[in-house]
Chain A
Amino acid sequence: MTEFTAHISPIVLLDLSLLTMLIIVAFAMLRSRHLFAVVMLSGIYSLLSAAFFVSLDAVDVAFTEAAVGAGISTVLMLGGMLLTARREKPAAKDRAPVALAVVLATGAALIYATTDMPAFGDPNAPANDAVGQRYVEETPNDIAVPNIVTAVLASYRGFDTLGETMVIFTAGIAVILLLGAGSGRGGRKVVDRAPSDEEAQ
């Protein structure tokens, strides 16, 4: 088993710039109290992560992130935002040191953990070593579809995907139960009173 050394290429610059933009957008979302701006920035964040997934060769994940993260969840957040105040309540200042300590401790632990992570594309990495290797080698013989991701998603792990579909179905049922008010039968229009600015403060 030969030692794997990560290949440094100009793509690294692209990755770095994408990750830097992700961090900038994340900080902008933290700083902003305007909920409309936060929703739009979260859409941009999803689009940037989709671009990052493309550069990691995970096109299926990128496609999903662009459709779900940047597309539908932005729309749903906007729809939800229209029902509430446009500005976020200012957070209580006295809790800030505790939150900062928790975030710093978690961040330090995560950064410490990255030192043990295998290099990107390492064939000896645990993810590629056992079952991943089998999927790549056996898909042409077992499933005979060109897209290995689809083979894993729909055939090898078809039962998992059935569970995921049930999760989405359950989410839809929950929304109908919570917000329905007879609209499932095409019923009456529902009107919510928007909180005034004084209440939102």
Chain B
Amino acid sequence: MERAILRVTTKIFFAPIILYALYVQFHGDYGPGGGFQAGIIFAVAFILHAFCFGLEETKKALPQRALIVAMVIGLLFYAGTGVATMLLGGNLLGYDAIVPGSTHHAGQHYGILLVEWGVGVTVASTMLTIFYHFTGREPDIDQEDW
């Protein structure tokens, strides 16, 4: 089998990278990190997969069509949280309206988690989209370059 060490290493590392992305995503309230960083770490796992197994294999696991849907969902998730707080009687993105009367600002926690999730989904799918489109174009190698 070709590049056996690379393949095995990628397979071992893939799940922990995703897990780390989720940790960074949901731990943003308590430590450094948040949606932007988590989205990129999530995308990096798939980029590693594409480098090792080829882009076509990665596109089978995570098709471009799904990424476009995820881009839109992420952005609408963020904006929708803002609209939801308005419908609940607060300002746009005024998260306290989510849990009114909370003594420890539980609404802020929920609101931040929701919008960070939207950011993470948008960033991850957009970065992967850009990566797919750049590396999906194969340069035609000249005869002398072989």
Distance in angstroms between the alpha carbons of A149 and B32 in the assembled complex? 8
How many A-B pairs fall under 8 Å by CB?
171
Determine the interface band of chain A, counting residues with CB < 8 A from chain B. 35 or more
CB distance from A11 to the nearest CB of B (A): 19
**Stretch binding the partner chain, chosen from A1-9, A98-106, A157-165:** A157-165
Q: Does A131 sit at the interface, judged by CB under 8 A? A: no
Q: Are A168 and B126 in contact (CB under 8 A)?
A: yes
Q: Which B residues form the contact surface with A (CB < 8 A)?
A: 24, 28-34, 36-37, 40-41, 43-44, 47, 59, 63-65, 68, 71-72, 74-75, 78-79, 82, 92-93, 95, 104-105, 108-109, 111-112, 115-116, 118-119, 122-123, 125-127, 129-142, 144-145
- A sample of 29 cross-chain residue pairs with beta-carbon separation below 8 angstroms, ordered by A number, consists of A60-B33, A63-B32, A63-B37, A67-B40, A72-B40, A72-B43, A75-B47, A80-B134, A83-B137, A143-B108, A145-B30, A146-B31, A149-B32, A155-B112, A158-B95, A159-B82, A159-B93, A162-B79, A165-B78, A165-B118, A172-B129, A173-B71, A175-B130, A175-B133, A179-B136, A183-B136, A190-B136, A191-B139, A194-B141
Residue A23, interface by CB 8 Å? no
- Residues of B near A72 (CB, < 8 A) are 40, 43-44, 47, 127, 131
Residues of A that sit less than 8 Å from B by CB = 59-60, 62-64, 67-68, 71-72, 75-76, 79-80, 82-83, 142-147, 149-151, 153-155, 158-159, 161-162, 165-166, 168-169, 171-173, 175-176, 179-180, 183-186, 189-194, 196-197
The answer to whether A172 touches B108 (Cβ under 8 A) is: no
List chain A residues, Cβ under 8 A from B122: 165, 168-169
Q: How far is the CA of A150 from the CA of B113 in the complex (A)?
A: 10
Interface of A is mostly: helix
Residue from A60, A64, A82, A176 in contact with B129 in the complex, judged by beta carbons closer than 8 Å: A176
Q: Report chain A residues within 8 Å CB of B137.
A: 83, 179, 190-192
Q: Are A64 and B141 in contact (CB under 8 A)?
A: no
Do A145 and B92 contact each other (CB < 8 Å), given the known contacts A72-B44, A168-B126, A183-B132?
A: no
